[in-house]
């Protein structure tokens, strides 16, 4: 529905091939001899067939085919996806293990979310990690910073809840907020204690990783082969499949192990440091990783990383990096969390894998915002055990050998079709072409030039001043943008409509049945009387009766949706998940948000006033824009919303096509109010707080994080809706404006006294 989006999301949308190395022989006809339409149809049919057999095998224990027949179907799917990577999907049976236990396992809401970790890939990243910590906590250069460092296990996350010191619940990570109840299965793992000792807290949730050692994995696959059963692809998949068995007796026969390394909801902690809690885990009967170590400073971390990487092959289990965590728990508390990861921890991944191959073509992919992204089509090559045939090329400057500021990259060497190139991938990062071997460049290869028209609709493709990407100007007439917007709308972090994946959206769009989001919710009604609806959808190639029934059920379940998800699903440029939550919590209802955006309509009006000085900077204040329009001011007052983002949001609502599409959609979908998080016993819960001037005892980031944790809304500017201004040294115009408006003003000491350390 939007004409633009975050460029990072455009890049992340690039599909890339990742099939296991050494795939079995291909069936006839050869996959690469099929045209895309025929390949897509066969892939869709194979996926539905395999999903059916997965459900019978994993959920109902009633297989209809032999393992040999199943494996032949799986090999054919792998070969087709390798030959036609544009159809690869993360939900494909080739990329998953078993089947989601839709009814087999009860759902568990995590009292404390299970978050992911940020990644570091170089020593520079690790040094910057510590620099951020020092800035956030305002530490002096000579103050030591201690960490725990331990291997990052490539397994399955598990949360173990003990009440009255007895194991009462075990849950998988799931989506971080809701996981699956696998308590009976966890009880079969010998390294998970049933009870905790008397000195342990009565309520404590231990978290860690379930994994399978190489030796045990090999023995399991041998036993599977002897029993005529299906072999597992790798230890992680074997661990995941074993833990998620509906019959705990099967799990009990699998050699699963467990490392404890963190915690969730607790009554109290047994120590004041990360390393101290790990020691307590050991005393309680849990295994912790023997390579976990308390270290001071980044040089010690890097040395330990090198040691673990050197020992990696001899450990006997899979790891993919080393996790660093601040050791002091009070510092962890002060630093808090971003939207989906802690500020005080990072995963330092092992060195990227590299390989050399031939650049066979440079294709253009049109994103949902119209961004034209060049994609490298490569001669398939194994990179760290994964076959790669596509890689990102970012934008036209990257292909030309120029960086974001026009500086040379790869020493100015451009990329051309026919070149021998170096490709790398690190962890889950999309493969990337990093260099070219000019000595092996064939004669006569032509300079690559970005197209000036959209390959999908023929509209002019324009690169605006200051933009890194060229964009199609076709807007809603561009089929590529329309399809990508629909894919985004139904994606997991947006409306999450199960059964509407890439293939299904593209097919429904081609047929003209779904052209805008509202069409999804009228699809069933437009398909005729009861009974014929399912039959009509099931008659399409790649669909079946069950998948059609499930889709209609999934659509009905999304007629009410959280406001933050709804805003994110609209695909407004620059509005990611975090920003969508900020907007939802600030306006709380769709009606309030939409009314404010419509009231703000038209160009942003600007005047200037003297700015407060930047914290810690010794430079003169500069003129900054200030909004005359109250709706503009409110939007910009949300901490984390800058002018570029605000203008993108206002432009979205000012567009007549978007207005019509929203009107159609809101006739079928009701965004649910989203209250701002509030700590009810906090003196600042629900209040709007602004920080200005230089703070002496807290960094600005820490002060904001603390206020938000207590339920306050942090704003970047003073308005009539501001409740408290916290003024540090040399506060400027914000202090004057607060005084004029009669807003309560606190010193830094007053603030700390009010909210506590």
Number of Cβ within a 10 Å radius of residue 560: 11
**Across the 757 residues of the chain, what is the mean pLDDT of every consecutive 10-residue run?**
38 34 44 82 84 55 47 73 71 52 69 88 92 93 95 93 95 86 92 94 96 89 80 83 86 92 95 97 96 96 94 85 96 85 92 86 91 93 77 92 88 95 75 92 94 92 87 84 92 87 88 91 78 73 80 90 92 85 88 87 45 40 46 74 83 86 93 71 84 83 81 80 87 85 89 81
Q: At what angle do helices 123-137 and 298-311 cross, to 10 degrees?
A: 140
> In angstroms, rounded to a whole number, what is the distance separating the alpha carbons of residues 38 and 83?
12
Return the bridge partners of 169, or none: 161
pLDDT score for 94: 63
Report which of 743, 700, 701 is spatially closest to residue 718, judged by C-alpha positions.
Answer: 743
Burial class (CB in 10 A: 0-12, 13-18, 19+), 681: exposed
Catalytic residue list:
152
pLDDT score for 698: 80
Cα 331 versus chain centre, distance = 26
What are the residue ranges of helices labelled H in 187-314? Answer: 214-226, 235-243, 248-252, 274-283, 298-311
Name the phi and psi angles at 380, rounded to 5: -50, 135
Name the phi and psi angles at 577, rounded to 5: -60, -45
Q: At what angle do helices 590-599 and 630-637 cross, to 10 degrees?
A: 130
3-state SS, residue 385: coil
How does 389-420 read in b/e, with b if 16+ C-beta sit within 10 Å?
bbbbbbbbbbbbbbeeeeeeebeebebbeebb
Number of Cβ within a 10 Å radius of residue 55: 17
Phi-psi region of 602 (alpha: psi -120 to 50; beta: other; left: phi over 0): left
CB 471 within 8 A of CB 371: yes
CB 203 within 8 A of CB 270: no
> In angstroms, rounded to a whole number, what is the distance separating the alpha carbons of residues 102 and 650?
40
The H or E element containing residue 434 is strand 432-436
Report which of 558, 322, 391 is spatially closest to residue 18, judged by C-alpha positions.
Answer: 391
Looking at residue 536, the DSSP 8-state letter turns out to be: H
> In angstroms, rounded to a whole number, what is the distance separating the alpha carbons of residues 565 and 671?
9
> In angstroms, rounded to a whole number, what is the distance separating the alpha carbons of residues 742 and 363?
59
Distances (CA, A) of 292 to 23, 151, 258, 261: 37, 7, 15, 9
């Amino acid at each position: 529905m939007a004409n633009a989006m975050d460029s990072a999301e455009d890049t992340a949308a690039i599909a890339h091939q990742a099939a296991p190395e050494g795939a079995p022989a291909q069936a006839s006809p050869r996959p690469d001899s099929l045209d895309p339409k025929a390949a897509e149809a066969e892939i869709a049919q194979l996926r539905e067939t395999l999903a059916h057999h997965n459900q019978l095998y994993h959920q109902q224990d009633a297989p209809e085919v032999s393992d040999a027949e199943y494996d032949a179907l799986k090999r054919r799917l792998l070969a087709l996806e390798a030959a036609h990577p544009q159809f690869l999907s993360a939900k494909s049976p080739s990329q998953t293990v078993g089947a989601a236990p839709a009814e087999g396992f009860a759902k568990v809401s995590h009292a404390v979310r299970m978050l992911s970790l940020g990644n570091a890939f170089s020593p520079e990243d690790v040094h910057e990690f510590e620099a951020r910590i020092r800035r956030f906590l305002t530490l002096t250069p000579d103050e030591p910073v201690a960490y725990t460092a331990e291997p990052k296990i490539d397994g399955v996350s598990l949360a173990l809840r003990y009440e009255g010191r007895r194991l009462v619940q075990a849950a998988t990570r799931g989506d971080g907020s809701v996981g699956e109840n696998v308590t009976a299965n966890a009880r079969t793992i010998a390294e998970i204690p049933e009870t905790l000792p008397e000195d342990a807290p009565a309520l404590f949730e231990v978290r860690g990783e379930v994994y399978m050692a190489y030796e045990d994995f090999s023995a399991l696959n041998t036993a599977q082969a002897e029993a005529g059963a299906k072999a597992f692809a790798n230890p992680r998949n074997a661990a995941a499949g074993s833990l998620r068995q509906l019959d705990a007796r099967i799990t009990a026969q699998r050699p699963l192990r467990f490392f404890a390394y963190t915690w969730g909801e607790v009554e109290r902690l047994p120590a004041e440091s990360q390393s101290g809690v790990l020691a307590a885990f050991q005393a309680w009967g849990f295994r912790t990783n023997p390579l976990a170590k308390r270290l001071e400073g980044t040089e010690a971390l890097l040395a330990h990383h090198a040691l673990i990487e050197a020992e990696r092959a001899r450990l006997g289990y899979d790891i993919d990096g080393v996790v660093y965590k601040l050791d002091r728990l009070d510092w962890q508390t002060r630093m808090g969390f971003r939207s989906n990861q802690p500020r005080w921890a990072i995963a330092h991944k092992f060195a990227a894998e590299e390989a050399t191959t031939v650049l066979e073509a440079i294709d253009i992919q049109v994103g949902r915002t119209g961004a034209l992204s060049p994609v490298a089509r490569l001669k398939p090559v194994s990179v760290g055990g994964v076959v790669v045939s596509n890689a990102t090329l970012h934008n036209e400057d990257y292909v030309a050998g120029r960086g974001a500021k026009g500086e040379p990259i790869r020493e100015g060497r451009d990329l051309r079709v026919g070149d021998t190139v170096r490709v790398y991938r690190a962890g889950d990062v999309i493969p990337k072409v990093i260099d070219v071997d000019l000595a092996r460049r064939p004669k006569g290869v032509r300079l690559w030039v970005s197209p000036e028209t959209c390959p999908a609709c023929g509209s002019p493709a324009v690169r605006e001043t200051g933009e890194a990407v060229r964009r199609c100007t076709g807007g809603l007439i561009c089929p590529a943008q329309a399809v990508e917007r629909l894919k985004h709308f139904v994606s997991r972090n947006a409306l999450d409509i199960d059964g509407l994946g890439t293939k299904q959206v593209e097919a429904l769009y081609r047929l003209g049945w779904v052209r805008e989001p509202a069409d999804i919710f009228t699809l069933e009604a437009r398909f005729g009387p009861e009974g014929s609806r399912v039959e009509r959808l099931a008659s399409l190639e790649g669909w079946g009766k069950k998948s059609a029934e499930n889709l209609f059920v999934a659509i009905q379940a999304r007629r009410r949706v959280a406001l933050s998800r709804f805003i994110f699903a609209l695909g407004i440029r620059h509005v990611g998940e975090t920003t969508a939550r900020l907007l939802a919590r600030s306006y709380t209802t769709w009606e309030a948000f939409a009314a404010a955006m419509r009231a703000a309509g038209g160009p942003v009006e600007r005047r200037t006033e003297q700015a407060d000085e930047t914290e810690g900077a010794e430079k003169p204040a500069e003129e900054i824009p200030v909004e005359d329009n109250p709706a503009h001011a409110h939007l910009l007052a949300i901490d984390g919303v800058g002018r570029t983002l605000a203008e993108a949001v206002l432009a979205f609502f000012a567009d007549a096509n978007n207005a019509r599409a929203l009107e159609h959609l809101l006739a079928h979908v009701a965004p649910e109010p989203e209250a701002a998080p509030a700590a009810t016993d906090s003196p600042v819960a629900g209040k709007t707080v602004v920080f200005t001037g230089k703070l002496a005892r807290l960094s600005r980031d820490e002060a904001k994080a603390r206020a938000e944790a207590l339920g306050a809304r942090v704003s970047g500017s003073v308005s009539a809706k501001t409740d408290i201004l916290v003024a540090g040294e040399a506060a400027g115009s914000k202090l004057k404006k607060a005084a004029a408006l009669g807003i309560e003003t606190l010193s830094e000491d007053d603030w700390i006294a009010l909210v506590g350390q």
